[in-house]
Structure 1
Amino acid sequence: MSQVGISSETELYEPIKRFWEERGYEVKGEVRHCDVVAVRGEEPPVIIELKKSLNIPLLVQGIDRLKLSPLVYVAIELPPKGRAPHRVSWSELRTMCGLLGLGLLTVRFYKTRREPLVEVVCHPPAMSTAGDAASPVPEGRDAQAAAQAIASAAGQPPTASSANALACEATLTRPRGKRVRVSKRAADRLAAEFNNRHGDFNVGGSTRVKRVTAYRERALLLAWTLHEHGPLPLRKLREQSACSDATKMMQHNYYGWYERHQRGVYGLTPAGEAALTTFAHVVEVIRKQLPSQTQHSQPAP
């Protein structure tokens, strides 16, 4: 079947999301600047960065994500005719990704109604320790071949001397078996953000859009509570919204959705009312977390 190109990396999100969900993962997009995060039980999270094509910024982004988890993939659209990008071989790309500590996924799109096909070019080296069968990392990695692949991804076909220099640098800076150290603090923040979200309202790879974070979810929940009940004292607002940090959020008023009517009593601004309309699909989901006695039969706006 003929293949069709994509116009935006956001088109990669649904196939990638479905691929991991079929393997038992819960998947959410745009979590603390990660395009895609997939979680399964107590395993380390899987992070996937999306780009239309393989390039140096994508690889740098992937390496940076290794500070959050050892299981990081980069995902690209499969180039026409299934050829590896930048005139290198898939074997060279596997070698390169192995040296960098990354996995590589491709997504093939079709002109027909056939579902896009996600294929694993290689798993990150750490995947074999997380319970999934990983593609074996070749013994005696060819650093020069990896250097040629990296240089090609940068759009600069290397000369023999530059390839040798890159290979030497790769050997010196990436000793065998050594990986980027995971930051526990950053990893904990990622886990907290993932777990505190009540739905997947973002499309991975999107830019210049208002992302629905766990904080925005709580802010919308407070706004909906004020919309339903009118101005409330802080104690009542905490009870009705089941939001323990309602006081802090009213005082900070980050989005400008709330206004103080009198000391300790807050209501909703026109901007808050507008937000309930803009994010009505989010409100419909998050308001269901409230205890049944605090909910009205009136639907979200």
Structure 2
Amino acid sequence: MIRFRETELYAPVKGYLERQGFAVKGEIADADVVACRGDDPPVIVELKGGFSLSLLQQAVARLVITDAVYVCVPWRSGRVAWRSLNDNLKLCRRLGLGVMTVRLSDGLVEVHCDPGPYKPRKSPARQGRLLREFARRRGDPARGGATRSEQVTAYRQDAISIAAYLTTAGPSKGAAVARATGIQAATRIMRDDHYGWFERVRVGTYTLSEAGLAGLARYDATPMLPPVHAVGRPEPIASQKPPEPSDSGSLLR
């Protein structure tokens, strides 16, 4: 990763603020950038080569001086960088901080969020998914802090129950598996076969594959408790889009 010096950010940020009508000076009372415009509260910008705890601590400390505090880091391209910026934007919003980036190749400054009180928006859909997973999961098979590949979700528990049934019953119709296990989605789980455990013998009839036998051997299927290391295909990560700069109600416009 290319290392940038904080001073490389100063000229683009100063030019950006001056175009908004601010008078700008650097290193005033330990603040990297201070901008003043008429009777408006002063704007403070803290510059760093990347997001860090130290940067956020510095910026939060400046909130005793003014509510208009921004952090500024170099713009980096790529999926990992976009994800990191998105995560840090969420954190900065919670802290009441604004976020700027500078594209050092041409000096482009973008304001991604402005400082202000944090107003969290709850997601009923995500809360519903959380509560449904909690209700469906049998027992407490996943240790807190486990990685995704080690987690035993309610879906995996259903797959384990189906696999355990097929080891004794042999090739079975989906309806028969659903009746025997109480898992109404049995046919869909075997058809989708996310873990590679099931094989279709004929339409509507499935059996356990060699991979399924090996996978089932890693679990005690009766109480649905996993071993230390569980296996399975990781769930796909949703595609990420780059964060859009904020352009509504900016303090700098």
Report the TM-score when normalising by structure 1. 0.39
Who wins on radius of gyration, i.e. which is larger?
2
Structure with the higher helix share, 1 or 2: 1
